[in-house]
Amino acid sequence: MVAATWDSGPPQETRLFPKGNGAAAYKITGLAARCDMVVLSDTCDPQTHVHRRPGCEQYRHIFLSLRAPFIALQFFTQEVLPKLVDDFVLVSGSSDLTLPDQTDRRWRRFTGEEHAMMDQILSHPRLLHWYAENLDRGGHPKRSPLPLGMVYPRGRGAPLSIPTLPPVNERPYQVLCAHRPRKSPQWETRRHVSALAQGPWKGFCTVPEGELPEEEFMRAISEHRFVICAEGGGLDPSPKAWVSLIHGAIPIIRRTALADAYAHLPVAIVDDWSEDALSMDRLGHWQARLAPALETLEGRRMTEFRLSMDYWWQLVTSGTAIRAPARTV
């Protein structure tokens, strides 16, 4: 049994709440609370608000909330960006909206003018780097993906208490496929993956009927070696991927522009959700390569640290690109 203890500080967290009460009502938590300036947005009035760290005169770390994404982008480029005179890093997030191409079906695409605004940010002479949640296209040297981590809709998350967990090798050789069932087009990928899990993958997949209550879901994770973390809202497979790792299971995610960030963690990555994406041979290969990061003392400590906010804040404050690290476990 692996006795898991969280000694690496609070987990990574980029989402801000409560939404829908105006931009000034948000609690500044998670990664945003470590920034010198937080530019907030909301669909209700007031739609924008700027929170500055008291006594701070140099805004080197700026968080841009994209809860009202189009309003936020315009406000930042017109009202905030022209006034920045010191070198800074930008963190954007708190939304399922993806950028720069915007692939989430619940929002419209960015206009040409809005793409020009993003280019304006990237070309700003003081910008060191832009770390973006739900990045849908890589390739720019000054923009990197940032995972969202855990989500706490009721406010600041309490310190995690991780139960004693059976090692991966002692769990049933099964893959958990437990999605929240929704009918809108945005969730088509999850419906497709569930069909595969009930069809060609049924020999090694568990598919619960309906949505599991949180306690049952956590227990189910600890009884499986792998957990399918298919994207739904946005591209980021978390918080499910984060929760799976905390409970000692290996997440299976699809390769997107977020891959360089998730390569810091023991996750299995498939190129697409096709019928041949999963097989017993692939599961065996992933287990042999990734299980030590969840089972050995050294591997578990490294994984816990890389799930922490401290780890991602360390990368953000470096002001350099987030790239896939060399394998160490």
| pLDDT tens per residue across span 210-230 | 889 988 999 999 999 999 999
pLDDT at 160 over 60: no
CATH number of domain containing 242: 3.40.50.2000
Segment 60-72 shows an average pLDDT of 98
Residue 248 lies in a domain: yes
Closest residue by Cα to residue 321 from 107, 95, 131, 110: 131
Residue 6 lies in a domain: no
175 and 214 part of one domain: yes
Residue 75 lies in a domain: yes
Q: Which residues are CB-contacts of 213 (< 8 A; sequence separation ≥ 6)? A: none
pLDDT band at 155 (very low <50, low <70, confident <90, very high): low
172 and 133 part of one domain: no
79 and 216 part of one domain: no
Residue where one domain finishes, among candidates 145, 174, 195: 145
249 and 105 part of one domain: no
Residue where one domain finishes, among candidates 98, 115, 145: 145
pLDDT band at 1 (very low <50, low <70, confident <90, very high): very low
Tell me what pLDDT residue 328 has: 46
131 and 172 part of one domain: no
Q: Quick: pLDDT tens for 101-118.
A: 999 989 999 999 999 999
Tell me what pLDDT residue 180 has: 77
306 and 176 part of one domain: yes
44 and 91 part of one domain: yes
Closest residue by Cα to residue 226 from 169, 162, 309: 169
281 and 221 part of one domain: yes
170 and 229 part of one domain: yes
Segment 9-19 shows an average pLDDT of 93
Parent domain of 92: 23-145
pLDDT band at 156 (very low <50, low <70, confident <90, very high): low
93 and 119 part of one domain: yes
Residue 150 lies in a domain: no
278 and 298 part of one domain: yes
Residue 323 lies in a domain: no
Residue 3 lies in a domain: no
Residue where one domain finishes, among candidates 110, 145, 180: 145
Residue 190 lies in a domain: yes
pTM across the whole model: 0.94
Tell me what pLDDT residue 205 has: 98
256 and 294 part of one domain: yes
Segment 261-281 shows an average pLDDT of 97
Residue 17 lies in a domain: no
Number of compact structural domains in the chain = 2
Mean pLDDT of all residues belonging to the chain: 92
pLDDT at 4 over 60: no
Tell me what pLDDT residue 2 has: 43
